[in-house]
Amino acid sequence: MMNIVLIGFMGTGKSSVGRLLAEKLSYAFVDTDALIEERAGLSIPQMFAKFGEKYFRQREKDIIKETCNRTHTVISTGGGVPIFEANRQILQNGRNIIVCLRANIPTILNRTKGRGDRPLLKNDLHKMQALLKQRMPFYNQADFIIDTDELSPLQIVNEIMVYLRRRKK
Ligand SMILES: Nc1ncnc2c1ncn2[C@@H]1O[C@H](COP(=O)(O)OP(=O)(O)OP(=O)(O)O)[C@@H](O)[C@H]1O
Ligand SMILES: O=C(O)C1=C[C@@H](O)[C@@H](O)[C@H](O)C1
Ligand SMILES: [Mg+2]
């Protein structure tokens, strides 16, 4: 069986929804950000500060490669994963179902306010808008896109389950 890969901007709910979806499907769960931190023994901000973003992106690519070889796994990705061509090629291998979680800027600001664990998160509406706009074309390459603004994590999981069932037919 295929993996379900969740992509989307910071704060769209990939980690929370992914964990729940994995439970519902009885799949394994991998969160790329958490795995990178665990392996490095450093938090993401520490890693950016010590070794730079480039280093983080290399670790991220390694983990994407590795996890895509699994089956029956829900993979919650970091917000920057689909921005890189190499990652897209690895993810779009025909064995993964790619689901994008989308949220508008006020929702994202609300869900991420006070978080100090995301170095690229600027608490600035315009910067956030610019980054989101730049990334949108890549997020939009997903197989299925859900607007999450008005939905609870459980409702999002249910929508994904409906989509998966429909795909099977
Ligand atoms: N559908 C939702 N409704 C309300 N709150 C939500 C929803 N989804 C996520 N949240 C909350 O928003 C915050 C961010 O969610 P989460 O960490 O899952 O996002 P993420 O996409 O994994 O972000 P990142 O890319 O930074 O890891 C959390 O506090 C979470 O509880
Ligand atoms: O959007 C991004 O580029 C990032 C999102 C987070 O999930 C982390 O992967 C990291 O902070 C970078
Ligand atoms: Mg996350």
Neighbours of 28 (CB within 10 A): 14
* 124-169 pLDDT, tens digit each: 788 889 999 999 999 999 999 999 999 999 999 999 999 999 998 7
Contacts of 47 (CB under 8 A, 6+ apart): 36, 37, 40, 55, 56, 59
Nearest to 4 by CA among 55, 75, 69, 85: 75
Q: How far apart are alpha carbons 52 and 57 in whole angstroms?
A: 9
Check if 153 has its Cβ closer than 6 Å to any atom of ligand 1. Answer: yes
Coil, strand or helix: which one is 48? helix
Q: Name the pLDDT band for 49 (thresholds 50, 70, 90).
A: very high
Torsion on CA atoms 107, 110, 113, 117, rounded to nearest 10: -40
ipTM value > 0.85: yes
Q: Is 3 helix (H, G, I), strand (E, B) or coil?
A: strand
Tens-place pLDDT, residues 50-81: 999 999 999 999 999 999 999 999 999 999 99
The pTM of the whole model exceeds 0.95? yes
Instruction: Please tell me the number of the ligand nearest to residue 11's CA.
Output: 1
Which amino acid is residue 36, in one-letter code? I
The 8-class DSSP code of residue 43 comes to -
Residue range 3-20: mean pLDDT, rounded: 97
Q: Give ligand 2 pocket residues (Cβ under 6 A).
A: 10, 33, 44, 78-80, 118-120
Ligand 2 centroid from CA 78, angstroms: 5
pLDDT value of position 48: 96
Span 101-130, pLDDT tens digits: 999 999 999 999 888 888 888 777 888 899
Which residues have CB under 8 Å from 4's CB, separation 6+?
21, 25, 27, 73, 74, 75, 96, 97, 99, 160, 164
What pLDDT was estimated at residue 1?
64
Residue owning the nearest CA to atom 3 of ligand 2: 80
For a mutational test of ligand 1's pocket, the pick from 9, 15, 152, i.e. the residue with the most ligand atoms closer than 8 A to its C-beta, is 15
Residue of 48, 101, 117, 120 to test ligand 2 pocket, by largest number of atoms within 8 Å of CB: 120
Domain boundaries, the chain: 3-168
Binding residue ranges: 11-16, 33, 57, 79, 118, 135
Domain at 3-168, CATH class = alpha beta
- Report, as an integer, the average pLDDT of 75-104: 96
Average pLDDT for 79-98:
96
